C-alpha cells in the first residue's frame, strides 16, 4: 500500500473507531480461563479493560476460570463480548461456541476458524492449499512416541536442528529446539508431559517476523506493519514473549521492502484461508531468498503491555483505544451478516 492509500485507510479506521462507542453499550470482557496461558490472559484482559474504560465503555470483567462464570455472563446481558482468552478453552472455538449459543456477538474469529488455527498441523495443510510456504513436519498423535528406527527416519527427513512443539498450544509452551538426537528424545518427553500430540518440524533459518492483519476476512483486511522479533533466548519462547526485556521488536523489520510485502500478502492470505475476523497475527521466518515460511496464525493474539499487536497498530497510527474499539465494531458487524 502506498503512502496515500495508507493515510486514507488510517483516516477511515480512526473515523470508524470514533463512531464505535455509539453502537456499543455493555461489554463482557472474558479473561483468565484454566489453561497454561491463564497468566497471559489475565495480563491481556487487565490491559484491555484499562484502555476501554478510558474510552468510556461499561466493562464487566468476567474470569472464565471461575465457577459460575456462565451465569454471570448471562446476567450481564452484554451487547458484545471482548475475548481476552488464550490457548485451550479460549482460542480453540469453545468459548466462541458458547457465545453463539447465547446469541452474544464476540470479538475475533468464529468457532471453525478458531478451531482450525489452533491445530498447527491442520493450519499447515490449509497454508499449503493456498500456495503458502511452511516447514516440513511429522505429527505424533495420541502420545505415540516413535520407535528408534521411526525416529531415525523422521530426523533423516526433517533434519537437525529441528523444532518440537505441541500441536494445539500457544505462547510457545512446550516448544524446544533440539540439536541432537538425544535432545530430541528429551524434547519429546517434555512435550508429551503437557500435550498428547506433538509436531517435529523442520528448522528454517532466517529472520523471525510477525504480521498482524486487521479486519474481517470477507472485506479487504489490512496488514499492519511487519515486526521483526529478536528474542533474548535462543528462540521466541514464553519468557521472550512476556517478560520485560525478553525480546527486541523492530519496526520496520530488517528485510527488503519486497520481502516485507511478501510477508504482508502471506499474512492476508492466511487470514483469508482461515476465515479470521477482527484481528489475527501470523508468525513466519523469512529465509535468505526472501521467502516467508509461515509458522502459525494466532486468532486471539496477546494484548499485554509487551504484546506485538498493539505495538504494530501504534506504528501504523492507531492508539490502543482505537484498536480495541475497532475489534468491538468488527464483532458487531460480523453478527449482522
Q: Which of 302, 307, 311, 329 is catalytic?
A: 302
Q: Which of 38, 49, 262, 281 is catalytic?
A: 281
Helix (H) or strand (E) holding 229, with range, is: strand 227-231
Q: Which of 169, 296, 320, 322 is catalytic?
A: 296
Query: Residue 160: how many CB atoms within 10 A of its CB?
Result: 13
Active-site residue flag, 317: no
Q: Which of 37, 55, 169, 322 is catalytic?
A: 37
Identify which of 311, 302, 309, 287 has the alpha carbon closest to the alpha carbon of residue 172. 302
Query: Angle CA(55)–CA(37)–CA(93) in degrees, nearest 5?
Result: 80
Active-site residue flag, 283: yes
Q: Which of 92, 208, 237, 283 is catalytic?
A: 283
Identify which of 321, 278, 329, 318 has the alpha carbon closest to the alpha carbon of residue 24. 329
CA 19 to chain centre: 27
Backbone φ and ψ of 58, nearest 5°: -90, 110
Active-site residue flag, 242: yes
**Order of all β-strands in the sheet with 137-140:** 137-140, 198-202, 162-166
Active-site residue flag, 281: yes
Q: Where are the alpha helices (DSSP H) in the chain?
A: 3-19, 38-54, 69-76, 94-102, 111-118, 120-129, 148-158, 181-192, 238-242, 257-273, 308-316, 320-335
Active-site residue flag, 191: no
User: How large is the angle between the packed helices 120-129 and 111-118, nearest 10 degrees?
Assistant: 100
Q: Which of 31, 137, 236, 242 is catalytic?
A: 242
Active-site residue flag, 2: no
Identify which of 325, 226, 314 has the alpha carbon closest to the alpha carbon of residue 10. 314
Active-site residue flag, 296: yes
The label of the residue with cell 490472559 reads 41
Q: Which of 171, 247, 259, 280 is catalytic?
A: 171
Q: In whole angstroms, give the CA distance from residue 183 to residue 189.
A: 10
Q: Which of 298, 321, 322, 333 is catalytic?
A: 298
Residue positions annotated with a catalytic role: 37, 171, 242, 281, 283, 296, 298, 302
Amino acid at each position: 500500500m502506498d503512502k496515500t492509500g495508507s493515510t486514507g485507510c488510517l483516516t477511515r479506521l480512526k473515523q470508524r473507531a470514533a463512531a464505535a462507542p455509539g453502537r456499543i453499550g455493555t461489554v463482557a470482557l472474558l479473561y483468565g480461563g484454566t489453561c497454561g496461558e491463564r497468566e497471559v490472559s489475565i495480563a491481556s484482559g487487565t490491559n484491555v479493560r484499562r484502555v476501554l474504560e478510558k474510552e468510556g465503555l461499561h466493562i464487566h470483567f468476567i474470569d472464565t476460570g471461575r465457577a459460575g462464570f456462565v451465569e454471570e455472563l448471562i446476567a450481564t446481558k452484554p451487547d458484545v463480548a471482548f475475548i481476552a482468552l488464550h490457548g485451550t478453552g479460549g482460542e480453540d472455538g469453545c468459548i466462541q461456541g458458547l457465545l453463539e449459543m447465547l446469541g452474544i456477538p464476540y470479538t475475533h474469529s468464529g468457532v471453525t476458524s478458531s478451531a482450525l488455527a489452533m491445530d498447527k498441523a491442520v493450519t499447515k495443510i490449509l497454508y499449503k492449499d493456498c500456495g503458502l510456504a511452511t516447514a516440513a513436519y511429522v505429527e505424533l498423535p495420541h502420545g505415540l512416541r516413535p520407535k528408534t528406527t521411526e525416529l531415525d527416519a523422521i530426523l533423516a527427513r526433517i533434519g537437525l536442528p529441528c523444532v518440537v512443539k505441541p500441536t494445539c498450544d500457544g505462547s510457545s509452551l512446550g516448544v524446544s529446539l533440539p540439536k541432537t538426537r538425544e535432545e530430541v528424545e528429551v524434547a519429546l518427553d517434555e512435550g508429551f508431559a503437557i500435550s498428547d500430540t506433538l509436531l517435529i518440524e523442520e528448522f528454517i533459518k532466517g529472520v523471525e517476523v510477525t504480521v498482524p492483519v486487521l479486519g474481517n476476512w470477507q472485506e479487504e483486511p489490512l496488514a499492519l506493519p511487519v515486526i521483526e522479533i529478536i528474542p533474548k533466548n535462543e528462540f521466541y519462547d514464553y519468557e521472550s514473549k512476556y517478560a520485560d526485556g525478553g525480546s527486541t521488536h523492530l519496526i520496520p523489520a530488517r528485510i527488503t521492502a519486497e520481502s516485507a510485502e511478501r510477508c504482508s500478502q502471506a499474512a492476508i492470505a492466511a487470514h483469508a484461508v482461515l476465515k479470521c475476523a477482527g484481528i489475527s497475527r501470523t508468525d513466519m521466518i523469512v529465509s535468505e531468498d526472501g521467502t516467508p515460511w509461515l509458522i502459525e496464525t494466532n486468532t486471539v493474539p496477546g494484548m499485554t503491555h509487551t504484546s506485538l499487536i498493539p505495538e504494530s497498530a501504534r506504528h501504523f497510527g492507531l492508539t490502543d483505544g482505537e484498536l480495541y474499539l475497532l475489534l468491538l465494531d468488527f464483532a458487531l458487524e460480523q453478527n449482522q451478516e
